[in-house]
Amino acid sequence: MDRLLEDSIDMNHDIIEYLISFLENSGKGGVGLDGVPNGEAAYLLDEKGLEIARCLKRFVDRMPGGFFIYHADGKEELIYANDAMVRLFNCGSVEEFRELTGNSFRGIVHPEDLELVEQSIKEQIAQSSYDLDYVEYRIVAKGGGIRWIDDYGHFIRSAVAGDIFYVFAGDATEKKVRQLEEKKALLKENFQKEWSLKSRIEEYDQEHLRHLEIIEGLSMDYESIFYANLDKDRMKAYCVSDSFKKQFPEEYQVCPFTGFDAEYIEELVHPDDREALRAATNPENIRRKLATDKTFIVNYRVCKDEKVSYMQLHVVDVGGDGEPSQVLLGYRNIDKEIRDALGQKQVLRDALEEAKLANDAKNRFLSNMSHDIRTPMNAIVGFTALAREHIDEKDRVAEYLDMIGAASDQLLQLLNDVLEISKIESEQVRVEEERCNLTDVVQQMQKAAFPRASAKHITLTMDTSRLAHPFVYADREKLELILTHLMDNALKYTEDGGRIFVTVSDAGKPRGDHALFRFTVEDNGIGMNEKFLEHIFDPFEREKNTTFSGIHGTGLGLTIVKKLVDMMGGEVSVKSAVGKGSRFEVSLPLAIQQIQTEPEEARVDFTESKRILLVDDNEINLEIEKAMLQGVGFLVETAADGSIALDMVRQAEAGYYDVILMDIQMPVMDGYHATRAIRALENPALAAIPIIAVSANSFEEDRRKALECGMNNHLPKPLDVQRLLEILGKYL
């Protein structure tokens, strides 16, 4: 007999090995084959073996009863589950089943049953290695429904998957219901016997049996259920959780009702909720509440193992008409429900707060933009009107034009700053490193700042004496923008005769091919109070004294500095005191050039006139840009859109046009299409004419699109002739 049993077990093992090997080879396994090894240990199935395994797989998939395989160690991950298992959990797909159960045996078993189930399996395996082990337990199906499962499993050591269990599972809910009915009937019989023997106990009548039915139905949802007779101050425990085991160590124990939960409240209930729970189980309070309603609930918290969870007491009047006396008390855990509700409320609160902050930020932005745009525009409009009135007074008109120019610069700076912030926040700005000489960067900045410093008699000092590695790889454009904003800030808020110190130095020894560099801009200007420093990098933030001083500023420069420094992986800090000045310090990690050579500066030499084809659909822009270019010696021809420019280039001789300045947004044919068409010309000399985009579209994405369509470079409007000359030096 033992030999036959062993042969049967071996055959089952072979079947399981066939199934697992097929799942591994085919890559299909229902729940999955996580953890199944590949290699020599796997079964190598021949054609016949594969056909057998396929048939076996189809058979198991379509079995009316559940079947699954899982690892015996670790997290007890599932290897395979058939369609019947998926249906048992009310799931529509294997993926849904995997998510619901966490893809493990532990996720299949109800948490309250898991420890006893695993202990029972271990004990049965220890008693016999041939018999199927049997356990029954609850599962939580999709939607929260509770079902009972009959589990017939067996442990084997698989050559393919290691130690595993294969399990035949069936829905035992109806059987369990019958058992409960039998238990109920038995209880009914016991109660009837007890009633006949103890006629003085009035509650064991037909009404009590109805209560018992209610209790049995509630036991699936409530962890503790008590029946109480308030008139007799007696209660009986029908279902008791671990929290009440100390007060009710025996099943169906009867005790006085008054004060039955005193120890539970004192030891487990949250201090803030103790009084409410005491009132909820006070007999007089129960009568008063149930006099107007057949039920009431009280939510409270318990503290166990340093963890707070939410509980609910449900009190129901189960007596007949008249004054409430017979009640049912049910205790259930509602921690997940409460926390989900609290989490949803917090999400809504956070979303509302974010919406309010975004709306406030939008309103502040529009208000500041309106003020900062109207101020220079008012100056431009006003001084233009004054210039017309005094058109014959040359000196006065020149003064007005200077004022218009200053207001235009202020307006342009505002637009540039807003666009720069927009580009950064839309993630259209990238750090592009190139060879860079830090000494040269500082000298260029000094050269640009000198006229303003000289006009205010400010002493401007640049110190690079502690700069040991001037040759680095850096995004020069962004570095210059950072230092320009810091220098501009210092020049604005340093009074006549003041001092500005700019220092660049190594901040420590290099680590490999990188080093930390420190850039400091310090002045003895008007300074700022400590409270304002907390918001100094916020958009449009300006100290009151700077506003009242009449000094114009967008309030965006330092915001741009902070965002660019963060983007480059650095840090920026500020120290300031009112009346003493400010010190801004930027620390940036930069790569050091291994061969430190200063790149040659491109020199532009236009000894003979060059011909430019200027393409723009705006007549005013054409007139202004044409005059500016002719003023520095260029020969200029114009086209009102891309199609006209294409015809002019197509009809020109090679070498006639030296460069094309191309607008982007134009009617008929835009700059992108015109550029592609020019690059496609058959004449290679005409197709290779340098084309430079001159456009109000100045985002990084716009620059990239210009280069992708065949343009050589990109310049933002308004046209900066000096910058144009530097770029033309690369192509002419």
* Tens digits of residue pLDDT in 673-728: 999 999 999 998 898 899 999 887 766 677 888 888 989 888 888 777 778 888 88
Quickly state the pLDDT bin for 300 (edges 50, 70, 90). very high
Q: 552-556, 611-615, 620-624: which has the minimum mean pLDDT?
A: 552-556
Q: How far apart are CA 552 and CA 560, in angstroms?
A: 17
Whether residue 597 is contained in a domain is answered as no
Q: Which of 126, 155, 170 is the last residue of a domain?
A: 170
Say if residue 561 is in the same domain as residue 667: no
Amino acid identity, position 427: E
Say if residue 96 is in the same domain as residue 226: no
Q: What is the pLDDT of residue 215?
A: 57
Say if residue 361 is in the same domain as residue 384: yes
Here the CATH number for the domain that contains residue 539 is 3.30.565.10
CB 479, CB 441: distance < 8 Å = yes
Here the CATH number for the domain that contains residue 397 is 1.10.287.130
Say if residue 583 is in the same domain as residue 615: no
Q: What is the pLDDT of residue 127?
A: 81
Q: 129-133, 176-180, 449-453: which has the minimum mean pLDDT?
A: 129-133
Say if residue 694 is in the same domain as residue 646: yes
Supply the Cα-derived Rg of the chain in whole angstroms: 42
Whether the upstream peptide bond of residue 510 has omega within 30° of 0, thus cis, is no
**What's the average model confidence in pLDDT over 432-437?**
87
Q: Is the pLDDT of residue 411 over 80?
A: no
Specify which residues 462 forms β-bridges with.
502
Six-digit token pair at 90?
């009310």
Q: How far is CA 453 from CA 61, 446, 514, 549, in A?
A: 84, 9, 34, 18
**What's the average model confidence in pLDDT over 77-92?**
91
Whether residue 354 is contained in a domain is answered as yes
Six-digit token pair at 457?
């008699």
Q: What is the pLDDT of residue 614?
A: 93
Say if residue 643 is in the same domain as residue 552: no
Q: How far apart are CA 454 and CA 460, in angstroms?
A: 9
Whether residue 602 is contained in a domain is answered as no
**What's the average model confidence in pLDDT over 645-663?**
93
Percent of the chain with pLDDT over 70: 81
Q: What is the pLDDT of residue 547?
A: 45
Q: What is the pLDDT of residue 426?
A: 59
**Between residues 497 and 7, which one has the greater pLDDT?**
497
Query: Considering its fold, how many domains does the chain have in total?
Result: 5
Q: How far apart are CA 212 and CA 194, in angstroms?
A: 15
Whether residue 601 is contained in a domain is answered as no
Six-digit token pair at 700?
């990084």
**Is beta strand 635-639 parallel, antiparallel or unpaired with respect to 295-304?**
unpaired
Quickly state the pLDDT bin for 671 (edges 50, 70, 90). very high
**Between residues 606 and 360, which one has the greater pLDDT?**
360
Specify which residues 659 forms β-bridges with.
612
Q: What is the pLDDT of residue 31?
A: 41
Q: Which of 308, 333, 358 is the last residue of a domain?
A: 333
Here the CATH number for the domain that contains residue 711 is 3.40.50.2300
Say if residue 359 is in the same domain as residue 507: no
Whose structure tokens read 């009590």? 208
**474-520 tens-digit pLDDT:** 988 889 889 988 988 888 889 999 999 999 999 878 888 889 999 99
**200-250 tens-digit pLDDT:** 445 545 555 555 555 555 556 788 888 888 888 988 888 888 888 888 887
Quickly state the pLDDT bin for 41 (edges 50, 70, 90). very low
Six-digit token pair at 228?
């109480």
Q: How far apart are CA 503 and CA 565, in angstroms?
A: 17
Q: How far is CA 1 from CA 4, 7, 155, in A?
A: 5, 10, 20
Quickly state the pLDDT bin for 366 (edges 50, 70, 90). low
Whether residue 367 is contained in a domain is answered as yes
Whether residue 605 is contained in a domain is answered as no
Whether residue 604 is contained in a domain is answered as no
Residues 6 or more apart whose CB falls under 8 angstroms from that of 26 comprise none
Six-digit token pair at 145?
């429904």
Length of the chain: 732
DSSP assignment letter at 580: T
Residue by residue, DSSP assigns 363-407 as HHHHHHHHHHHHHHHHHHHHHHHHHHHTTT-HHHHHHHHHHHHHH
Q: Is the pLDDT of residue 419 over 80?
A: no
Which domain, by its residues, includes 708? Answer: 611-731
Half-sphere exposure of 348 (CA within 13 A, CB side): 6
Say if residue 33 is in the same domain as residue 95: yes
Say if residue 24 is in the same domain as residue 126: yes
Q: What is the pLDDT of residue 96?
A: 92
Say if residue 181 is in the same domain as residue 165: no
Q: What is the mean pLDDT of the chain?
A: 80
pTM of the model: 0.41
Say if residue 567 is in the same domain as residue 638: no
Of the candidates 90, 193, 104, 205, which has an alpha carbon nearest to the alpha carbon of residue 146? Answer: 90
Count of CB atoms situated within 10 Å of the CB of 625: 24
Whether residue 218 is contained in a domain is answered as yes
**Is beta strand 713-716 parallel, antiparallel or unpaired with respect to 691-695?**
parallel
Say if residue 527 is in the same domain as residue 626: no
Q: Is the pLDDT of residue 546 over 60?
A: no
Q: Is 400 exposed, middle or buried (0-12, 13-18, 19+ CB in 10 A)?
A: buried
Q: Which of 557, 592, 627 is the last residue of a domain?
A: 592
**Between residues 34 and 540, which one has the greater pLDDT?**
540
DSSP assignment letter at 130: S
Here the CATH number for the domain that contains residue 224 is 3.30.450
Six-digit token pair at 230?
């308030």
Q: Is the pLDDT of residue 649 over 90?
A: yes
Q: What is the pLDDT of residue 25?
A: 61
Q: What is the pLDDT of residue 59?
A: 82
SS3 67: strand
Six-digit token pair at 487?
């220098």
